[in-house]
Amino acid sequence: MKVDGVARRSIQLAADGRGVEIVDQTLLPHRFETRELRVLSDATEAISAMRVRGAPLIGATAAYGVALQMREESSDASLQRAIEALLATRPTAVNLSWALDEMRASLRELPPAAREARAYARAAAICDEDVENCRAIGEHGLRLIEALHERRAERGPLNVLTHCNAGWLATVDWGTALAPVYLAHDRGIAIHVWVDETRPRNQGASLTAWELGQHGVSHTVIADNAGGHLMQRGRVDLCITGSDRTTSTGDVCNKIGTYLKALAARDNGVPFYVALPTSSIDWTLSDGLAEIPIEERDGAELSCVRGRNADGDTVEVAVTPASSPVANPAFDVTPARLVTGLITERGVCEASAAGLAGLYPERSAQSASS
Ligand code: MRU
């Protein structure tokens, strides 16, 4: 996607072909700055501090984290250390363990001297595959948007509600939930996005709004609590969110607050779709509520808000009494029954074991034979 008219990815190799350049997402929307990761600890810090975030981008960064470590030391022990350190950064998005499994599989049989080059090549391939997958998700989602838009063209732009940031900043490029929106906009479909602010870290207000603005897509930031009200008044035609982990039965884990939007959508007859690449599916799980680990983040994310003051300085202010305890679960699980459909790079399916088996027949064959 473009930043000030210049095409770039959220993660890319630095000019020396060894360092890895990321967009520091903690500074957006007020400052666009890139940062170079040079060693493994730069990568673990970037993921833990959420300089990079979003399930697919966490996976891509972890893959490059392994490559950075292979550059320093390519022994078996070093590979294992890198995988363990990266795996410990964030617990919920399954793309992290998926990417690390990919890296381990492509490196472990190689002699140490061959690992650095292979690690960089596999990390680059993971990034390229993510771009292709997100673009394909965009094409499949676009068909849904076109169909809805045709049905109601006389009533102005199609209104899409999204939660958190599942745009290009959350992936390597294009995004998941926002890929269909970008394609629709590029093809001249009148579209408007309701952007949930997404407390406590405000990924909607600061990242989704910034992305959409850079691309010229009409959007309005709303308080997290406003979505249900807008749905009751017929002002939302479609909800699309991303996912950090989806079970083999179609339960969807995503940023905290997604579940409430799905409930409101069901009550108001608004289609609720989830867009995700295959790397976000955890085929080992069948009960999202019982089995998906939910990240608990620092309560300071809730008790304080950060923003820019009138002098242009970034400041943090407290919004809760200092003595009040806070709790900060970062994700929730939307049961499959509330999800209208899953949009993957292979196509759109029902959020159910049967729906996923239809798109991934090789998976049902695997589980039948195991
Ligand atoms: O805590 P974050 O910002 O990493 O959470 C990200 C989300 O919940 C996204 O909506 C999700 O990863 C889908 S990203 C394509």
Residue 139 resides in a domain: no
Q: What secondary structure letter does DSSP report for 153?
A: G
Domain that holds residue 12: 2-129
Give the tens place of pLDDT for each residue, 202-244. Answer: 999 999 999 999 999 999 999 999 999 999 999 999 999 999 9
Residue 193 resides in a domain: yes
Distance 120 CA to ligand 1 centre (A): 25
Give the tens place of pLDDT for each residue, 148-179. Answer: 998 875 678 999 999 999 999 999 999 999 99
Give the per-residue pLDDT at 237.
Answer: 97
Give the per-residue pLDDT at 365.
Answer: 64
293 and 364 together in one domain: yes
Residue 144 resides in a domain: no
264 and 316 together in one domain: yes
Give the per-residue pLDDT at 248.
Answer: 98
Of 127, 95, 96, the closest CA to residue 276 belongs to: 95
Q: What percentage of the chain carries pLDDT values higher than 90?
A: 95
Helix (H, G, I), strand (E, B) or coil at 161: strand
Give the tens place of pLDDT for each residue, 264-299. Answer: 999 999 999 999 999 999 999 999 999 999 999 999
Q: Which atom of ligand 1 is nearest to the CA of 295?
A: 1
C-alpha 187/C-alpha 203 separation (Å) is: 26
Copy the structure tokens of residue 263.
């409930």
164 and 289 together in one domain: yes
Give the per-residue pLDDT at 367.
Answer: 62
CATH number for position 84: 1.20.120.420
Q: With contact defined as beta carbons under 8 Å apart, do 92 and 294 qualify?
A: yes
CATH number for position 232: 3.40.50.10470
Of 243, 183, 202, 324, the closest CA to residue 58 belongs to: 243
C-alpha 217/C-alpha 162 separation (Å) is: 13
Residue 167 resides in a domain: yes
Residue 78 resides in a domain: yes
Give the active site residues.
Answer: 244
Give the per-residue pLDDT at 2.
Answer: 85
Out of 57, 58, 254, mutate this one to test ligand 1's pocket (max ligand atoms within 8 Å of CB): namely 254
Q: What secondary structure letter does DSSP report for 298?
A: P
Pocket of ligand 1 (CB under 6 A): 53-56, 93, 164, 166, 170-171, 176, 203, 242-244, 254-255, 330
Strand partners, 135: none
Phi-psi domain of 5 (left: phi exceeds 0; alpha: psi -120 through 50; beta: other): left
Distance 172 CA to ligand 1 centre (A): 13
118 and 185 together in one domain: no
Copy the structure tokens of residue 119.
């690690």
Residue 134 resides in a domain: no
Give the tens place of pLDDT for each residue, 296-331. Answer: 999 999 999 999 999 999 999 999 999 999 999 999
323 and 268 together in one domain: yes
pTM for the model: 0.96
36 and 166 together in one domain: no
Q: What is the largest CA-CA distance in the chain?
A: 64
For residue 337, name the pLDDT band (cuts at 50, 70, 90). Answer: very high
Distance 111 CA to ligand 1 centre (A): 36
C-alpha 333/C-alpha 217 separation (Å) is: 29
Out of 224, 244, 333, mutate this one to test ligand 1's pocket (max ligand atoms within 8 Å of CB): namely 244
Query: Going by C-beta distance under 8 Å and a sequence separation of 6 or more, which residues neighbour residue 310?
Result: none
Residue 141 resides in a domain: no
Give the per-residue pLDDT at 152.
Answer: 77
What is the average pLDDT across 246-254? 98
Residue 147 resides in a domain: no
93 and 186 together in one domain: no
18 has pLDDT over 80: yes
Domain count for the chain, please give it: 2
Give the per-residue pLDDT at 369.
Answer: 59
348 and 233 together in one domain: yes
